[in-house]
């Protein structure tokens, strides 16, 4: 405890929520569990000895409610490190590139969408070198086409239709 006094912000979280990773982790899982219970609430349950479609989801969801409550309470009564900061740049551009690929691959074909996906993803790195990225994206696109289209003959559109 003594070493925690000098640098409270670094080593230990302070305030009412003493272990924020557990508290928010538990809270989010509780939300997931309750959501799944709500989403499955219209499914028929057990009839006699026979499980209905809703029995197992309710069983697992119910257990998750209990366990996530334990984690949440543990976040209040035990000490732990503060929440880690989320990166903004890396997740934003990386996820954007994946979503772009999903949206683009059908209408504009693999070649252009793969290249653009890689260029968006390149921005996720804070030390991006654009010249290098253009060359590398082109190489990877060519390699992907060679491997997946010619090598494994996946049925995919190459160019815009």
Partner 1 sequence: MMDLIHNLVFGISVAATVQNIFLCLIGALVGTLIGVLPGLGPVATIAMLLPITYGLPPVGALIMLAGIYYGAMYGGSTTAILVNIPGESASVVTTLDGHQMALQGRAGPALAIAAIGSFFAGCVATVVIAAAAAPLTSIALLFGPAEYFSLMVLGLILAVVLAKGSVVKAVAMILVGLVLSMVGSDLETGAGRLNFNIPELADGINFAVVAMGVFGFAEVLRNLEVTHNRDIVSAKISGLLPTREDLKAAAPAIGRGTALGACLGILPGGGSVIAAFAAYTLEKKLSKTPQRFGRGAIEGVAGPETANNAASQTSFIPLLTLGIPPNPVMALMVGAMTIHGIVPGPQVMTKQPDLFWGMIASMWFGNLMLLVINLPLVGLWVRLLRVPYRLLYPTILIVCCIGVYSVNNSPTDVYLTAAFALVGYWLVKHDFEPAPMLLGFVLGPLMEENLRRAMLIARGDWSVFVTRPISGALLVVSAILFIIAVLPMIRKKRDEVFVEEG
Collapsing DSSP states into helix, strand and coil, what is residue 106? helix
Which tokens go with 104? 């683009």
Contact status, residue 79 vs residue 68, Cβ threshold 8 Å: no
Question: Please, what sign has the CA dihedral across residues 13, 16, 19, 24?
Answer: negative
Estimate to the nearest angstrom the gap between the alpha carbon of 5 and the chain centroid: 35
Nearest to 74 by CA among 21, 136, 9: 21
Contact positions with partner 1 (CB under 8 A) in 103-142 = 103, 105-106, 110, 114, 117-118, 121-122, 124-125, 127-129, 132-133, 136-137, 140-141
Contact positions with partner 1 (CB under 8 A) in 1-20 = none
The 40-69 site mask, x for binding partner 1 (CB under 8 A), equals: x--xx---xxxxxxxxxx--xx-xx--xx-
CB of 89 to partner 1, least distance (A): 8
CB of 44 to partner 1, least distance (A): 8
Q: Which of 31, 83, 142, 158 binds partner 1 (CB under 8 A)?
A: 83
CB of 7 to partner 1, least distance (A): 20
CB of 3 to partner 1, least distance (A): 17
Contact status, residue 22 vs residue 71, Cβ threshold 8 Å: yes
């Amino acid at each position: 405890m003594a070493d925690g006094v000098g640098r409270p912000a670094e080593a230990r979280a302070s305030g009412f929520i003493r272990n924020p990773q557990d508290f928010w982790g538990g809270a989010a899982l509780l939300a997931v569990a309750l959501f799944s219970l709500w989403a499955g609430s219209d499914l028929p349950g057990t009839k006699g000895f026979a499980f209905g479609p809703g029995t197992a989801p309710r069983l697992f969801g119910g257990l998750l409610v209990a366990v996530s409550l334990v984690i949440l309470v543990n976040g209040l009564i035990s000490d732990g490190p503060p929440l880690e900061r989320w990166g903004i740049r890396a997740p934003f551009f990386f996820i954007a590139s994946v979503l772009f690929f999903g949206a683009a691959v059908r209408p504009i074909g693999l070649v252009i969408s793969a290249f653009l996906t890689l260029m968006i993803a390149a921005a996720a790195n804070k030390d991006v070198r654009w010249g290098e990225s253009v060359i590398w994206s082109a190489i990877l696109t060519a390699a992907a086409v060679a491997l997946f289209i010619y090598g494994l003959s996946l049925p995919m559109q190459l160019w815009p239709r």
